[in-house]
């Protein structure tokens, strides 16, 4: 069993679990608005899980709770053995820098840093020496076939290149979990597909990925498991066969020029 979801009523602990949400609720405006309502979810190592739902369903809130960017109003969140509920801001920051990589819809690259410097930031935050961080970043840029733009600034890159840089940045600390929040939302469809194939390829190499999207085709086309949210609650959880598998070789085959 790759993962268990029981509609927020039951939580099955497994030894291979990477993410465990137990009866998680998140309310705003003095509980007037419930973004998450008793969500229980377990994601195991190596899964590619897509969280899907319409706007306002709570999918981004769920992602933020897993990322330690938002705190649940109730329930318990454990990721990679780390209890996030009640953790200090500093502890959450350390958790983010070592255990997760974040890929955003709008890339969120630092405009005053070069590509390689952007990729190096999380490594340096984690205490990696500059030379070692540079070597790792360079390797990732090479693997993602954007080595040629390492000295460029984000604003001089195409959307696809920017998202590759963001992916490289997310991977540099070898995170246990990559969180991708609408990673294709700011890209044209062709480039978006290529980015998703890249995520597929990463997953093929064992990287656990939690993807948030409102796009059904994207969720079903790439996720091995699709969790549907509505009004803050899980309404469906299905494991599916992907329509297409990216070979590891595609990591380098998807050149920057194609994006």
How many CA within 13 A on the CB side of residue 134?
6
For residues 214 and 126, give the distance between their C-alpha atoms in angstroms, rounded to a whole number: 32
Select 9 or 90, whichever has its Cβ closest to other proteins: 90
Select 98 or 135, whichever has its Cβ closest to other proteins: 98
Q: DSSP secondary-structure letter at 151? A: T
CB of 28 to other proteins, least distance (A): 10
CB of 101 to other proteins, least distance (A): 9
Check residue 86 and give left, alpha or beta (phi > 0: left; psi -120 to 50: alpha): left
CB of 91 to other proteins, least distance (A): 9
Phi, psi angle pair for 190, to nearest 5°: -65, -45
CB of 170 to other proteins, least distance (A): 9
For residues 32 and 30, give the distance between their C-alpha atoms in angstroms, rounded to a whole number: 5
CB of 56 to other proteins, least distance (A): 12
CB of 53 to other proteins, least distance (A): 15
Select 162 or 225, whichever has its Cβ closest to other proteins: 162
Select 109 or 211, whichever has its Cβ closest to other proteins: 109
Select 161 or 197, whichever has its Cβ closest to other proteins: 161
Distances (CA, A) of 30 to 26, 35, 71, 127: 10, 12, 14, 39
For residues 141 and 252, give the distance between their C-alpha atoms in angstroms, rounded to a whole number: 10
DSSP class per residue in 47-85: -EEEEE--TTSSHHHHHHHHHTSS--SEEEEEETTEE-T
For residues 117 and 59, give the distance between their C-alpha atoms in angstroms, rounded to a whole number: 31
CB of 26 to other proteins, least distance (A): 10
For residues 259 and 245, give the distance between their C-alpha atoms in angstroms, rounded to a whole number: 19
Select 210 or 246, whichever has its Cβ closest to other proteins: 210
Which residues bind to other proteins, rule: CB under 8 A?
60-61, 64, 67, 69-70, 89-90, 93-98, 102, 104-106, 108-114, 117, 120-122, 124-126, 129-130, 153, 155, 169
Tokens of 239: 């494991």
Tokens of 259: 């994006």
Q: Give the chain's end-to-end CA distance (angstroms, integer).
A: 36
Tokens of 167: 């992916």
Select 151 or 190, whichever has its Cβ closest to other proteins: 151
């Amino acid at each position: 069993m790759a993962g268990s979801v029981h509609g927020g009523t039951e939580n099955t602990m497994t030894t291979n679990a990477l993410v465990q949400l137990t009866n998680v609720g998140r309310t705003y405006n003095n509980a007037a608005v419930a973004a998450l309502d008793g969500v229980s979810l377990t994601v195991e190592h190596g899964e590619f899980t897509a969280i899907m739902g319409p706007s306002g369903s709570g999918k981004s809130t769920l992602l933020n709770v897993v990322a330690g960017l938002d705190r649940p109003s109730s329930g318990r969140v454990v990721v990679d053995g780390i209890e996030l509920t009640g953790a200090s801001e500093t502890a959450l920051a350390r958790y983010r820098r070592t255990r997760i990589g974040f890929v955003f819809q709008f890339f969120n690259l630092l405009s005053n840093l070069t590509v390689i410097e952007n990729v190096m930031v999380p490594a340096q935050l984690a205490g990696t020496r500059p030379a070692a961080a540079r070597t790792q970043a360079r390797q990732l840029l090479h693997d993602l076939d954007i080595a040629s733009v390492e000295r460029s600034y984000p604003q001089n890159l195409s959307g696809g290149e920017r998202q590759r840089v963001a992916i490289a940045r997310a991977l540099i600390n070898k995170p246990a979990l990559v969180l991708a929040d609408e990673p294709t939302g700011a890209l044209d469809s062709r480039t978006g597909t290529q980015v998703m194939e890249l995520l597929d390829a990463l997953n093929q190499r064992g990287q656990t990925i939690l993807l948030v999207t409102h796009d059904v085709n994207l969720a079903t086309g790439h996720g091995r498991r699709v969790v549907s949210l509505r009004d803050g609650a899980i309404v469906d959880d299905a494991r599916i066969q992907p329509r297409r598998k990216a070979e590891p070789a595609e990591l380098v085959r998807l050149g920057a020029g194609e994006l």
